[in-house]
Chain A
Amino acid sequence: GQNIDQPTEMTATEGAIVQINCTYQTSGFNGLFWYQQHAGEAPTFLSYNVLDGLEEKGRFSSFLSRSKGYSYLLLKELQMKDSASYLCAVRSKNQFYFGTGTSLTVIP
């Protein structure tokens, strides 16, 4: 079966750095995605990794290790508006498998 694991909740301070981990076990791998989802809204795309290594995009970076089935999303210079759920998703052939999401709360 497919298994995507990420922590349920995290709390971090405004201006700090936070790392959200994701481990996966899927039959087939065609890329790993991170999405941000504010309460009551649709997920929005943050990053995509298909090769090992770090992808940087402004305040957000995402890392992938395919051999370890592991990824993380790094958020720098946290802002209050970053409080949201962060979803890790793995593409396997035509399907996307999502984790349950990590609810991040940024506190002043």
Chain B
Amino acid sequence: GAGVSQSPRYKVAKRGQDVALRCDPISGHVSLFWYQQALGQGPEFLTYFQNEAQLDKSGLPSDRFFAERPEGSVSTLKIQRTQQEDSAVYLCASSTTRNHEQFFGPGTRLTVL
């Protein structure tokens, strides 16, 4: 079946530009996570949704970062006024409530010039 998909796969933004990154989780997965992965580092937690409820957003690095999942399926991570330090791969993962295994999407590589 279909896995987690993310779009776009690559995004180049000029500093100060707003970007929106999309995640389509596996159908029926209630849990959805966003991570930021810098080169040579492990993924860093950003935020967690259970269905449409954002239960934890403590990992969002600043108020320029905003995530939503209005209908409990597709999620969007928005970054306003991008900065160079926002350059990273943004990973989305989903899981069921009965299975702790997270399925990761291919990621969106964001480069801010």
Contacts and interface: CB of A to CB of B under 8 A. Distances in A.
Interface of A: 4, 31, 33, 35, 41-45, 48, 87, 89, 91, 93-101
Contact of A100 (B41, B58, B102): B41
B104 A91 contact: no
Interface residues of B, number: 23
A33 B102 CA distance: 10
Contacts of B91: 42-43
14 contacts: A4-B42, A35-B104, A42-B4, A43-B91, A44-B104, A87-B42, A93-B56, A94-B48, A95-B56, A95-B59, A96-B33, A97-B45, A98-B44, A101-B41
Contacts of B100: 31, 33, 48, 91
A43 B33 CA distance: 13
A58 to B, nearest CB: 16
Contacts of B42: 4, 87, 89, 98-101
A91 B56 CA distance: 13
Contact of B104 (A43, A48, A99): A43
B43 A87 contact: yes
B103 interface: yes
Contacts of B33: 96
Q: Which of A41, A43, A100 has the most CB of B within 10 A?
A: A43
B52 to A, nearest CB: 15
B55 interface: yes
For the complex of A and B, list the 4 residue pairs with the smallest distance between their C-beta atoms, beginning with the closest. A98-B42, A42-B104, A94-B56, A94-B48
